[in-house]
Structure 1
Amino acid sequence: MSDHSSTYDVAVIGGGPAGLAAAIAIAQSGANTALVARRSLYADNRTTALLGGSIDFLQALEIWPHCQDKAAELRVMRLIDDTGRLIRAPEVKFSCDEIGLDVFGYNIENRVLVSALEERAATLSNLTRLDDEAATVSAGDDFVTIELAGGGSISARLTVGADGRHSLCREAAGITVRRNELPQAALTFNVSHSRPHHNISTEFHTPQGPCVFVPLRGGRSSVVWVSEPKEAERLMALSDEELSDAAELRSHSILGSLHVEPGRNRFPLVIEQPRQFARTRIVLVGEAAHVLPPIGAQGLNMGLRDAADIAEIVRNALASSEDPGSPVVMNRYASVRRPDVMSRTFAIDMANRSLLSAFLPMQSLRAAGLHLIGSVGPLRRLAMREGLAPSWRTSPAGRSVTETPAARSE
């Protein structure tokens, strides 16, 4: 990328799922767009449960038809209290047909999703892919200047920071982060099993955190096992056979005998929120804007909503001959994203705290709350809809950006 120099309407820095989706959506809005990200094989075997409007968004980007056949439908979600405590919540089951949907969403391997995003990005004539990294990012009055690691530089009226939790863009914008380290770590891996999952995702609540078995295609499931850091380290060190036995025991053999597939990941859990979502011609999306524990499948779904919102804001700004990096446009993005991110973060944090607490009044409240959700139909349906995406959230144009076709037909 030496000697590369050009000016764009928008530059996106970061080639993860949220960054790729943002670049594609912004380019589809008509903006002259640059994507600064190294092309590399996505070797991680982690998966994502795409819920609610995420599928609609990927449909609009012409991506979903290329990966749907590799994703598993999620039709039922079960919550099982496996804490063994004195006060336990009843099992709660959510079925998609109760709210008029064919599926809640789909579970897909991240490498499959990233591959489909990469292929779509390569087809857009007004999306320039720079196979490089940003060495420095400097925000000015009229442009953001990005010095490339391989030499040369580009500038953009608006820069989208999709460069992860150690975001160079966030640092360049002078945005600080509130960080809360949790006393937990997550172990992720995939398993094959002898019994069918019937498209049911099952989440066991333990005193150390949830352990969820999410359907994959072909008699397989992905596992996210949250526990204390030392326990996660112990599980990580087990042989495949030993971990298979431990996972089968944790699942109470509902999927029969389990066989752990190669590849596993362990990472500490934190909650991170920026004090601002946009500043000095830089907006944040994905993990640059929010880091959550893998509870409730909210992380990437929120990242895709970030991408959808900034793309629509850019589209509206260009249609009105506005500068897409102006303060008024920055404020629009912040006002749309702040309520969504803050409300989801608060809900996940409270749910996790209630599970970890051994305080009897807290356990009583948690059990009572889950009992009400499980037994009261209107409350259960409300919980399902809000779990997919906040119903009150509207796009900058005023229409719902998370509304699914099935919901609109009701």
Structure 2
Amino acid sequence: MTILPDTTPSAPPSSALPPSTSPRFEVAVVGAGAAGLAAALALAREGIATALIGRHAPVADGRTVALLDGSVRFLDALGAWAAIAPHAAPLAELHIVDDTGSLFRPPPARFRAGEIGLAAFGWNVESARLVESLRARARATPGLTLLESDAAGCLRGEAAAELTLADGGRVAARLVVGADGARSPLRAGSGLRVRDWSYPQAALTTLLAHTLPHRDVSTEFHTRQGPFTLVPLPGGHRSSLVWVTGAGAARRLADLPDAALAAAIEDQAQRLLGALRIDGPRGLVPMRGLAVENPVAHRLVLIGEAAHVFPPIGAQGLNLGLRDAAALRDAVLAAARDGRDPGARAALAGLGRGRRRDAGLRTTAVDALNRSLLADLLPVDALRGLGLLAMTTIGPLRRVVMREGVLPRLGAPELMRAGTARRA
């Protein structure tokens, strides 16, 4: 897929589109993953004429997503949570175990959602279930036009943007939302500055059945190769696994027969959940990072992994993408209330600042934790250990960290702050 680059990204010429181009839509969202679906739903439910462009490809690689409390509030406001809740498991506690072998190993840390007035930090659900539930809501939402085709080109003009589709169609909109993933063609053609990097690691993902109950506790072992995380699934005796380790080791693990892989996981988990068996498909995710300098350009906003990519650590990735979608809804509604053009830079400036700040803080935190595990340096181990010990023993600090991890207080989108989500 090729996206046509802007001739002058910072100030597109008025001749970039024919004068007769008339937007049929206020907003065109490109990308039919969870972030794109949520953004399109949030806009269409407010009466914004919205197109969702993208093929609805299957999701089946053993991945789950831990939807934090703010994300659940957002999905509930979109009318999607009721269908997801029966298939989600609450994360009532988070346990962190230092398994690095460091001289500065702190005792296991335990964080309880009840300390900050929540029944759970979030809910874990299979990614395929989440996406299919959002697709069902999209199909039933008036004012949302679904175009199941790839975008093949984008030309952004002074008054509108025009997308050409792989099936030969064309779509004009006042604002294009790039939710087209980590390899985003829209980002590549935008002229926006990007910083990307990689880690010598990969994440193995799969689903597990186990003999001992998880008791709604998510356990994260910090190893010298990266975090090894077990996250509850419904039923009490199923969990999802995210095992971050060296890229070569991850490939070897992924190639093992089920019984041998289950034995390796049991050993790494210190038999915390008893005997294990593989209970779902496997995924192998290269560890990389990406950040755009600014997710906003003329008539274009990048959200989700089109704007930021970082390792699957701390349940931050998709939750950050859903905050992008919720914040986008707030910005477009504010422009509509004021009679402003939602695709103009002036209308998007505040959105860009807020999303840069949120993504920057999360990216820095995840990157620092991951690199500290790989460093194998006594001063780094000491700082990490002291930080975890402080969060364990100092109540006010622990509660601030827990609240900020669930939802940032500064600039939280409206639909993540208000309302009460239906609980599983």
TM-score range, shorter chain: over 0.9
2-side partners of 1:22 and 1:9: how far apart? 13
Q: Secondary structure at the match of 2:279?
A: strand
Q: Assess if the C-alpha contact under 8 Å between 2:88 and 2:124 holds in 1.
A: yes
Distance of 1:328 and 1:30 partners within structure 2: 22
Equivalent position amino acid for 1:44 in 2: D
Determine the C-alpha separation between the residues in 2 that align with 1:308 and 1:118: 17
Amino acid at match of 1:403: R
Residue 258 of structure 2 is aligned to residue 231 of structure 1: no
1:202 aligns with 2:219: yes
Residue 387 (structure 1) aligns with? 405
1:58-105 alpha-carbon deviations (Å, 9 max, x no partner): 010000011101000110000001112222122100001111111111
Conserved 8 A contact 1:164-1:287: yes
**Alpha-carbon deviation of 1:405?**
5.9
- 2:417 is the alignment partner of 1:403: yes
- Is structure 2 residue 25 aligned with structure 1 residue 8? yes
CA deviation string 1:118-152 (max 9, x = no partner): 11111222110001110111111111110010012
1:301 is paired with a residue of what secondary structure?
A: helix
What is the alpha-carbon distance in structure 1 between the residues aligned to residue 350 and residue 114 of structure 2?
A: 36
Task: Tell me which residue corresponds to 1:252.
Answer: 270
Superimposed CA distance per residue, residues 2-30 of structure 1 (whole angstroms, 9 cap, x where no aligned partner): xxx97210000000000000000011122
CA distance in 1, matches of 2:400, 2:419: 18
Alpha-carbon separation, structure 1, partners of 2:168 and 2:39:
25
Aligned to 2:201: 184
Give me the whole-angstrom Cα distance separating, in 1, the residues matched to 2:155 and 2:242: 38
For 1:263, what is the secondary structure of its paired residue? coil
Matches within 5 A, 1:119-268: 119-218=136-235, 219-268=237-286
CA apart distance, 1:351: 1.3
**2:355 is the alignment partner of 1:337:** yes
Change (3 A) 1:150 1:235: same
Aligned to 2:45: 28
Secondary structure of 1:325's match?
A: coil
Could you tell me how far apart the structure 1 residues matched to 2:418 and 2:200 are? Answer: 36
**Contact persistence 1:137–1:168 (CA under 8 A):** no
* SS in structure 2 at match of 1:271: strand
Q: Deviations over 1:344-381 (max 9, x none)?
A: 11111111122222111111111111111111111111
After alignment, is 163-172 or 225-234 more displaced? Answer: 163-172
Q: How does 1:54-133 map to 2 (within 5 A)?
A: 54-133=71-150
Q: Please, which runs of 5 or more residues in structure 2 have no aligned partner?
A: 1-21
1:374 aligns with 2:392: yes
- Code of the residue aligned with 1:387 in structure 2: it is G
Preserved CA contact (<8 Å) 2:151 2:165: yes
Q: CA deviation at 1:404?
A: 6.7
Gaps (5+ residues) in structure 1? Answer: none
Match of 1:361 in 2: 379
In 1, Cα distance between equivalents of 2:249 and 2:411:
39
- Give the secondary-structure state (helix, strand or coil) at the position aligned to 2:176: strand
Amino acid at match of 1:154: V
Cα distance in 2, alignment partners of residues 140 and 349 from structure 1: 37
Count of aligned positions? 399
Q: Structure 2 CA distance, aligned partners of 1:179 and 1:256? A: 40
**Secondary structure at the counterpart of residue 390 of structure 1:** coil
Distance 1:404 1:209 in 2: 36
Distance in 1 between residues matched to 2:284 and 2:59, nearest whole Å: 17
Q: Which residue identity lines up with residue 282 of structure 1 in the other structure?
A: L
2:9 corresponds in structure 1 to: none
- More displaced, 254-263 or 278-287? 254-263
1:41 and 1:272 map into 2 onto residues whose CA distance is: 24
8 Å Cα contact 2:225/2:246 also seen in 1 = yes
User: Is 34-43 or 76-85 further displaced after alignment?
Assistant: 34-43
Change (3 A) 1:376 1:231: same
Distance 1:265 1:210 in 2: 16
Residue type of the alignment partner of 1:28: R
Aligned residue for 2:5?
none
Report what 2:6 is aligned to: none
The question of whether the paired residues in 2 share the 8 Å contact of 1:53 and 1:404 is answered with no
* 210-219 or 169-178, which deviates more: 169-178
- Cα distance change of structure 1 residues 380 and 405 upon mapping to structure 2, 3 Å threshold: farther
Could you tell me how far 1:401 is from its partner in structure 2?
A: 5.2
Partner Cα distance (2:327, 2:420) in 1: 21
TM-score, normalised by the number of residues in structure 2: 0.91
For the aligned residues, what is the CA RMSD? 1.5
d(CA) in 1 for partners of 2:213, 2:303:
37
> Superposition pairs for residues 250-289 of structure 1, below 5 Å?
250-289=268-307
CA distance in 2, matches of 1:38, 1:405: 32
Residue type at the aligned position of 2:60: A
CA distance in 1, matches of 2:119, 2:77: 19
Per-residue deviation, residues 208-262 of structure 1 (Å, max 9, x unmatched)? 0000000001220000000011111111111100000000001111100000124
Q: Cα 1:271–1:31, aligned 2, differ >3 Å: closer, same or farther? A: same
- Residue aligned with 1:158, SS: strand
SS in 2 for 1:67: helix
SS in 1 for 2:287: strand
- The AA in structure 2 aligned to 1:273 is A
Q: Secondary structure at the match of 2:272?
A: coil
Report the 3-state secondary structure (helix = DSSP H, G, I; strand = E; otherwise coil) of the residue aligned with 2:308. coil
Deviation, 1:115, is 1.1
Which residue is 2:12 aligned to?
none
Identity between Structure 1 and Structure 2 (%): 45
Amino acid at match of 1:335: R
